[in-house]
């Protein structure tokens, strides 16, 4: 799933206040409305000063930030949301030094924030799975070097790549870390994939395709 692009002014309009950030977080945590994690009651009220909701039945206070990227944070949610925007709006990301100047935090705080955001992004990618029509191939990576070319060449790293075919272009991609071997390739042979020949038609994989997670494949966009 690809998030819609949003510019700086629109981000400021949506998440410019602590209340707006809290409401957005509440919608993500309880998309069908508040439900008490202790008694299951579906009525409660927000405590904006503590980023939590209190159940109107058992009076349990459910934190909005518990178990999330913002768990136990002392920073305003607005600074976290701006850090997320600055981190994801540029392909090159943002450095901790630049983030300190943008949102007014110390370097160590900015460094920890960016580390948490990167970990969360990695966890998000790990839930993606390839399905429908998937094309798989291997390649040797390492650039041009003198001497033998192709398989067996020194300095080359074998990589297994699986890409979802969307007809009009490539979709999500999964990559096997260095060390492609027959042990890795065999699980991807029939019935999931036919033996590769120059005229062999592409075959459809079971839905959903498990992404071969036991072999280290993780989906990437």
Mean predicted lDDT score pLDDT of the chain = 75
Instruction: State the CB neighbour count (10 A cutoff) for residue 79.
Output: 20
Length of the chain: 221
Summarised one tens digit per residue, pLDDT across range 142-175 is: 777 777 776 667 777 778 888 877 777 776 677 6
60-64, 95-99, 172-176, 186-190: segment of lowest average pLDDT:
186-190
Is a pLDDT exceeding 90 seen at residue 115?
Answer: yes
Is a pLDDT exceeding 70 seen at residue 216?
Answer: no
Q: Could you tell me which residue, 9 or 152, shows the higher pLDDT? A: 9
Does residue 95 contact residue 79 with C-beta atoms inside 8 Å?
A: no
Q: What is the pLDDT of residue 179?
A: 55
**Highest mean pLDDT of the ranges 57-61, 119-123, 188-192:** 57-61
Summarised one tens digit per residue, pLDDT across range 55-88 is: 999 999 988 888 888 988 899 999 999 999 999 8
Tokens linked to 120? 């969360």
Which one, of 76, 105, 81, 111, lies nearest residue 8 by Cα? 81
C-alpha 31/C-alpha 24 separation (Å) is 10
Long-range (24+ apart) CB contacts under 8 A made by 59-67 are 60/36, 62/34, 62/36, 62/37, 62/38, 64/22, 64/25, 64/26, 64/29, 65/25
Q: What is the pLDDT of residue 113?
A: 95
Please name the residues in contact with 185: beta carbons below 8 A apart, sequence gap of 6 or more. Answer: 138, 160
pLDDT classification of 89: cutoffs 50, 70, 90:
confident
Is a pLDDT exceeding 50 seen at residue 131?
Answer: yes
Which one, of 158, 174, 161, 170, lies nearest residue 220 by Cα? 174
Per-residue 3-state assignment (H helix, E strand, C coil) for 49-79: HHCEEEECCCCCEEECCCCCCCCCCCCCHHH
Please name the residues in contact with 190: beta carbons below 8 A apart, sequence gap of 6 or more. Answer: none
Does residue 180 contact residue 218 with C-beta atoms inside 8 Å?
A: no
pLDDT classification of 200: cutoffs 50, 70, 90:
very low
Which one, of 98, 122, 100, 120, lies nearest residue 109 by Cα? 100
C-alpha 93/C-alpha 78 separation (Å) is 19
């Amino acid at each position: 799933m690809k998030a819609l692009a949003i510019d700086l002014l629109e981000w400021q309009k949506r998440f410019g206040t602590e209340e707006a950030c809290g409401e957005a977080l509440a919608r993500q945590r309880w998309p069908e409305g508040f439900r008490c994690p202790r008694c299951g009651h579906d009525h409660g009220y927000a405590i904006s000063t503590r980023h939590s909701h209190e159940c109107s039945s058992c009076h349990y206070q459910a934190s909005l930030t518990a178990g999330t990227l913002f768990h136990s944070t002392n920073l305003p949610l607005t600074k976290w949301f701006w850090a997320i925007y600055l981190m994801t709006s540029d392909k090159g990301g943002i450095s901790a030094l630049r983030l300190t100047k943008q949102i007014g935090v110390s370097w160590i705080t900015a460094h920890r924030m960016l580390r948490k955001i990167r970990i969360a992004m990695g966890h998000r990618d790990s839930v993606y799975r390839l399905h429908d029509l998937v094309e798989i191939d291997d390649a040797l990576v390492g650039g041009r070097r003198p001497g033998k070319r192709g398989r067996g060449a020194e300095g080359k790293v074998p990589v297994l790549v699986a890409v979802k075919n969307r007809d009009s272009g490539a979709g999500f991609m999964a990559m096997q870390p260095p060390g492609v071997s027959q042990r890795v390739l065999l699980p991807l042979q029939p019935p999931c994939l036919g033996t590769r020949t120059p005229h062999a038609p592409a075959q459809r994989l079971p839905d959903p395709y498990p992404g071969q997670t036991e072999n280290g494949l993780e989906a990437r966009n």
